[in-house]
Amino acid sequence: MGTFSIVDENDIPPGHKSINRYMSFESKKDGDSNILEYRAHCNADGRQQEVGSYGDTFAPTSKFSCTRLICAIAAQEGLTLYQFDVKGAFHLAECKERVYINLPGKYRLPKGKVRQCRRLFYGLKQAAHGWNQMFVKWLLDYGFVNVDNDGVTFVKNVNEDDGTKSKILLSIHVDDGLAVCSDEAMYKEFIAAMSKDFVSATAGSSSGFWAARSSRIVKRA
């Protein structure tokens, strides 16, 4: 399923209108404020959405206290911190409401045609909520259990064949996540499953999260 479909303007129901889009440019930085990459987003102008034309908008985000707790557990148990990022996360969730969007700038569709969202789009008021609902459902189906009231911290425990126990602890923040895992193979399996279902996901050991830098110091006896 693509992000948009082309429909006739006459198909727009009463009370709905086609909203504009705009470009935004930003840079992604590490914990030392070094620029990692430049990003360009084509966003919907959510300010033009009519009240009542969309549903829930709230999406929980990880608090810094949750991140500190996960780092503390990693330090106490000698575990490795990992960080993952889902690319184009909002475009993966289905748009359940009727949303019509114009092309950006001077681009135009043939007369009488308009684009209808089939997937959620950056800038839409319901986009973050829709993605969060989709990702949380995927985590629960994969075997994770939510362990906090905010709905951002999840854990999965696995009993191995040799009698040992492995676990993954996650803290999610929109389309980013911080993970602690006792078994690297288990974490790679999790990332492989996530990459398959969400098309594209990057992952690696964490040196920074929430624009904060982290480092691991191993004390030798």
Q: What does the pLDDT look like over 35-51, one tens digit per residue? A: 878 888 788 888 888 77
Residue 144 burial (CB count, 10 A) = 19
Say if residue 139's pLDDT is above 50. yes
Record the pTM.
Answer: 0.80
Tens digit of pLDDT for each residue in 81-105? 888 888 888 888 888 888 888 877 7
Tens digit of pLDDT for each residue in 183-220? 888 888 898 888 888 865 565 555 555 555 555 544 54
The residue extents of the domains of the chain are 4-213
Instruction: Report the amino acid identity of residue 41.
Output: H
Helices of type H across the chain = 64-77, 127-142, 184-197
Assigned token pair, 54 = 């969309």
Inter-CA distances, 178 with 51, 66, 82, 155, 204, Å: 34, 10, 6, 12, 10
With H, G, I as helix, E, B as strand and everything else as coil, classify residue 202.
strand
Q: What is the DSSP letter of 182?
A: S
Instruction: Report the amino acid identity of residue 71.
Output: C
